């Protein structure tokens, strides 16, 4: 084949050229697919890493147990009910019941045994307190009994060591007769060996002297008193004393070093043991058996054979007359005898009767009472002035002081706000009283495949913590403001800030960008030098680093246009405060400048894609250039314009550097306005990732998911709008 000018290859050269092109295409196709695969793989790994941090097990420990707030409120209710006698002395409780024909109450089983002829035992859910029902837990009001002493006391005072050994050897002889359910012989023998080891061997009773001071639980009082009497008869010649002041008061006295031996109807809490150790009192705990609280009544109260836990809650914490519980009961007032505050018996009662009631089940009035009892006066007063706890009356403040504060030059926010509602009070209790603290977190992978090991580790390191699965991305995370406590922190203020900044950015950049594109494509003479300069600068500005736009925004919007961006010209600056241009308006305008070149270029490309025949057709029918552009060209280009605009907005959502320069805050706890300080999601994520606590890394992962969802929503909107307008056009 002739090819006189050798303009293109032929024959073998043509085949070689074709083969070369095929090889090149195959290689570049492979490179493209490999790059795409790597990009997708990196994105998948990134998303898995984020999800791995956003969900998982946590060891959660509350500063105050929520259920203790419930039981504490119910305890206060029980002791403050009408016709109620409260005392830590069970003998006094028994006497009150004996003297009132409609009397009912609780006494230790040992006290019931002593007064069995004058008291009537009532079953609880059909169960009476016996050795079997107490041991298997079917009787609800059973609890362990303990005696405590300090390690130094045990080692330095032979009388205490001798008494403990004597107690363990002889309690079973007298305890059963007194109505107690004593520990088994094996446990007793093991504890005797422990006492001998700590004290340096057994003590001879006839050589013991000194004093013995006991105090604490009234439930254990009869047994400990009998052991003291038997101890004296066995040869102890020193002075002895015993008081019944309740377990809680006894523990406080013991930790202060006021007593040598503590009687307790419950074990020490971790906090109480820590208090003792801070006072150089190292507790030695000895279990002596079990006791049961007996519910008893006057013998004439024969209509009541057995009660349920629900009925007991009504009797002791709700109703005042018997017929209110059951119409068949007599119309007589209920006379109650209950253990006093600070008693382990009262804690046992409230914990059992109200075990199914959660903090979230209480009323707003109950929340107000819990706040009154558990919040410091100074802090409570400050919060009450921020927003009142009660619609009528005050908890910490007074009407006179509140009115005076409202009449001052700077009135508190509570003057213009309604009282807190029930949900607000519950949130306040969680934040100010319960104060949940996460001790440790575990990622999702380990939480799924190593759960047992995690639970074992947490129980060893944090015995008071609860191990539970936590989704850091939850409704509370979306509606809570920022907080220094990771357990209470949320992204509401950051989301609002992001939305307001993006809205400002869109309202500024979209009309300006589209207008500029229409001018450059439809009206400007591309041969003119100034139009060439404008087009060149727009293309160059699209590649300028974002930090430069931040500096431009700081100079122009924050400083030069301060009266506008601070709201001063609109009267939005509080009297006596200096105006600040570091606001949502400044941030939105700065990001508007950042994405303006991108919007202009995308809009120009969309306008160029519109066929010129459409323009000629419009003007051929007599339309002006503007009418043709507005009615024909712009609608046809709108899908491409919207797509480019929303993609540019997606970039603005993720920007951080220019907003830091403009003055975005890292911590904002109140919802922003257009003329206030603000934060956005990327800055919030940056702030959390820079903190050393691992739980803030989990919060950052959850916030990244929220940011990605916002970006995906914007991108999906671009696709939907493009498809819709493409179809309609």
Do 200 and 319 reside in the same domain of the chain? no
392-405 residue pLDDT tens: 889 998 888 988 88
Q: How many Cα atoms within 13 Å fall on the side-chain side of residue 162?
A: 23
Element (H, E) at 163: helix 158-178
pLDDT band at 2 (very low <50, low <70, confident <90, very high): low
- Are residues 608 and 503 part of one domain? yes
Domain-located, residue 45: no
Q: Looking at residue 239, which CATH number applies to its domain?
A: 3.40.190
Pairing of strands 55-62, 211-216: unpaired
Q: Is the CB of residue 538 less than 8 Å from the CB of residue 531?
A: no
Structural domain includes residue 446:
no
The answer to whether position 261 is within a domain reads: yes
Residue 726's pLDDT is: 64
> Can you point out the beta strands (E) in 69-119?
84-87, 103-108
**What single string gives the DSSP state of each residue in 656-671?**
-HHHHHHT--S---S-
Residue 234 in this model has a pLDDT that exceeds 90: no
83 and 177 share one domain: no
Residue 492 tokens, joined: 């509401």
What pLDDT shows up at residue 344?
A: 77
Q: What pLDDT, on the 0 to 100 scale, is given for residue 8?
A: 63
Mean pLDDT confidence for 694-711: 90
Q: How far apart are CA 700 and CA 441, in angstroms?
A: 14
CB count in 10 Å sphere of residue 154: 21
Residue 527 included in any domain: yes
Question: Is 109:291 a contact under the CB 8 Å cutoff?
Answer: yes
Q: Which helix (H) or strand (E) holds 712?
A: helix 694-728
| CA distance linking residue 93 with residue 111, whole number of Å | 9
Phi-psi region of 657 (alpha: psi -120 to 50; beta: other; left: phi over 0): alpha
Confidence grade of residue 283 (pLDDT, cut at 50, 70, 90): very high
In a domain, 219, yes or no: yes
Strand, helix or coil at 146? strand
Same structural domain for residues 110 and 154?
A: no
- 103 and 249 co-located in one domain: no
In a domain, 639, yes or no: yes
Secondary structure class of 111 (helix, strand, coil): helix
Spatial CA neighbour of 152 closest among 270, 266, 254, 272? 254
CA-based diameter of the chain, in Å? 136
User: What is the arrangement of strands in the sheet containing 55-62, beginning at the earlier edge strand?
Assistant: 436-441, 55-62, 466-471
From CA 75, how far away is CA 614, in angstroms rounded? 83
pLDDT value of position 1? 47
Is there a single domain that holds both residue 236 and residue 323?
A: no
Question: Do residues 285 and 327 both lie within one domain?
Answer: no
* pLDDT digits 0-9 by tens, 255-278: 999 999 999 988 888 778 888 999
Instruction: With 0.75 as the threshold, say if the pTM is over it.
Output: no
Q: Which of 310, 325, 357 is the last residue of a domain?
A: 357
Q: What percent of the chain has pLDDT above 70?
A: 96
Q: How many domains does the chain have?
A: 3
Q: What is the CATH number of the domain that holds 580?
A: 1.10.3720.10
Between 1 and 158, the more confident residue is 158
Does 602 reside within a domain? yes
Q: Is residue 1 part of a domain?
A: no
Three-state DSSP class for residue 302: coil
Domain that holds residue 591: 492-728
Mean pLDDT of 124-150: 89
> Which pLDDT belongs to residue 693?
85
Please indicate, yes or no, whether residues 304 and 253 belong to a single structural domain of this protein. Answer: no
Is 112 in the same domain as 255?
no
Q: Which of 593, 588, 587 is nearest to 663 (CA)?
A: 587
Identify the three-state secondary structure at position 690.
coil
Give, rounded to a whole angstrom, the gap between the first and last alpha carbons of the chain.
51
611 or 667, which is more confident? 611
Q: Are 137 and 131 in contact (CB under 8 A)?
A: no
Residue identified by tokens 């805050």 is 665
Enclosing H/E stretch for 310 = helix 309-317
What pLDDT was estimated at residue 699? 92
Residues 72 and 172 in one domain: no
What is d(CA 224, CA 108) in angstroms, rounded to the nearest whole number? 14
Q: Do 173 and 186 share a structural domain?
A: yes
How many other CB atoms sit within 10 Å of the CB of residue 408? Answer: 9
Average pLDDT over residues 458-475: 87
Backbone angles phi, psi at 439, to 5 degrees: -80, -35
- The count of residues in the chain is 729
- The rounded distance, in Å, linking the Cα atoms of 15 and 10 is 8
Q: What Rg, from alpha-carbon coordinates, does the chain have? A: 39
Torsion sign over Cα 312, 317, 322, 327: negative
Same structural domain, 332 and 253: no
């Amino acid at each position: 084949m002739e090819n006189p000018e050798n303009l293109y290859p032929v024959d073998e050269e043509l085949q070689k050229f074709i083969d070369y092109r095929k090889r090149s295409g195959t290689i570049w196709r492979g490179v493209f697919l490999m790059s795409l695969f790597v990009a997708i793989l990196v994105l998948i790994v990134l998303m898995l890493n984020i999800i791995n941090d956003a969900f998982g097990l946590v060891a959660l420990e509350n500063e105050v147990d929520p259920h203790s707030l419930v039981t504490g409120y119910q305890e206060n209710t029980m002791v403050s009910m009408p016709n109620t006698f409260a005392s830590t002395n069970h003998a006094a409780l028994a006497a009150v019941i004996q003297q009132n024909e409609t009397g009912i109450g609780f006494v230790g089983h040992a006290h019931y045994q002593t007064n069995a002829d004058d008291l009537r035992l009532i079953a609880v859910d059909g169960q009476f307190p016996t050795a079997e029902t107490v041991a298997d837990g079917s009787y609800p009001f059973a609890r362990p009994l303990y005696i405590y002493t300090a390690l130094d006391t045990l080692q330095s005072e032979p009388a205490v060591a001798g008494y403990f050994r004597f107690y363990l050897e002889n309690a079973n002889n007298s305890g059963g007769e007194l109505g107690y359910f004593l520990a088994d012989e094996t446990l007793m023998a093991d504890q005797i060996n422990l006492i001998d080891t700590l004290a340096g061997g057994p003590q001879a009773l006839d050589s013991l002297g000194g004093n013995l001071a006991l105090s604490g639980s009234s439930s254990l009082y009869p047994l400990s008193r009998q052991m003291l009497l038997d101890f004296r008869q066995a040869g102890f010649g020193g002075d002895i004393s015993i008081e019944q002041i309740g377990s809680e008061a006894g523990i406080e006295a013991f930790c202060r070093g006021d007593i040598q031996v503590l009687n307790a109807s419950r074990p020490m809490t971790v906090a109480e043991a820590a208090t003792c150790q801070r006072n150089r009192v190292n507790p030695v705990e000895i279990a002596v058996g079990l006791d049961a609280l007996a519910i008893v009544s006057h013998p004439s109260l024969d209509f009541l054979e057995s009660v349920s836990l629900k009925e007991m809650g009504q009797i002791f914490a709700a109703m005042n007359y018997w017929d209110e519980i059951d119409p068949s009961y007599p119309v007589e007032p209920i006379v109650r005898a209950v253990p006093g505050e600070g008693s382990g018996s009262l804690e046992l009662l409230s914990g059992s009767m109200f075990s199914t009631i959660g903090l979230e089940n209480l009323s707003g009035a109950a929340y107000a009472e819990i706040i009154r009892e558990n919040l410091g006066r100074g802090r409570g007063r400050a919060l009450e002035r921020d927003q009142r706890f009660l619609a009528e009356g005050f908890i910490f403040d007074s009407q006179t002081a509140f009115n005076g504060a409202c009449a001052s030059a700077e009135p508190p926010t509570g003057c213009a706000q309604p009282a807190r509602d029930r949900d607000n009070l519950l949130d306040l209790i969680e934040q100010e009283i319960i104060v949940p603290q996460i001790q440790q977190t575990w990622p999702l992978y380990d939480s799924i495949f190593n759960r047992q090991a995690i639970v074992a580790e947490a129980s060893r390191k944090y015995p008071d913590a609860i191990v539970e699965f936590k989704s850091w991305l939850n409704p509370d995370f979306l509606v809570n403001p920022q907080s220094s406590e990771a357990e209470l922190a949320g992204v509401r203020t950051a989301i609002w800030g992001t939305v307001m900044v993006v809205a400002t950015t869109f309202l500024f950049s979209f009309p300006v960008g589209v207008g500029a594109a229409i001018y450059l494509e439809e009206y400007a003479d591309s041969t003119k030098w100034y139009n060439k300069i404008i087009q060149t600068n727009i293309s160059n500005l699209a590649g300028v680093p974002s930090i430069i736009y931040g500096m431009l925004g700081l100079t122009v919007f924050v400083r030069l246009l301060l009266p506008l961006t601070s709201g001063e010209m609109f009267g939005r600056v509080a009297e006596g405060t200096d105006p600040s241009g570091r606001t949502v308006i400044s941030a939105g305008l700065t990001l508007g400048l950042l994405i303006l070149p991108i919007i202009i270029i995308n809009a120009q490309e969309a306008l160029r894609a519109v066929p010129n025949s459409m323009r000629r057709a419009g003007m051929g029918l007599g339309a002006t250039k503007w009418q043709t552009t507005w009615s024909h060209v712009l609608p046809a280009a709108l899908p491409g314009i919207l797509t480019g605009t929303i993609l540019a907005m997606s970039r603005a959502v993720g920007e951080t550097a220019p907003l830091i320069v403009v003055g975005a805050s890292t911590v904002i706890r109140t919802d922003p306005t257009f003329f206030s300080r603000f934060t956005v999601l990327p800055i919030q994520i940056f702030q959390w990732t820079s903190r050393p606590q691992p739980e803030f890394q989990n919060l950052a992962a959850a916030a990244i998911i929220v940011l990605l969802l916002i970006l995906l929503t914007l991108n999906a909107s671009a696709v939907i709008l493009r498809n819709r307008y493409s179809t309609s056009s």
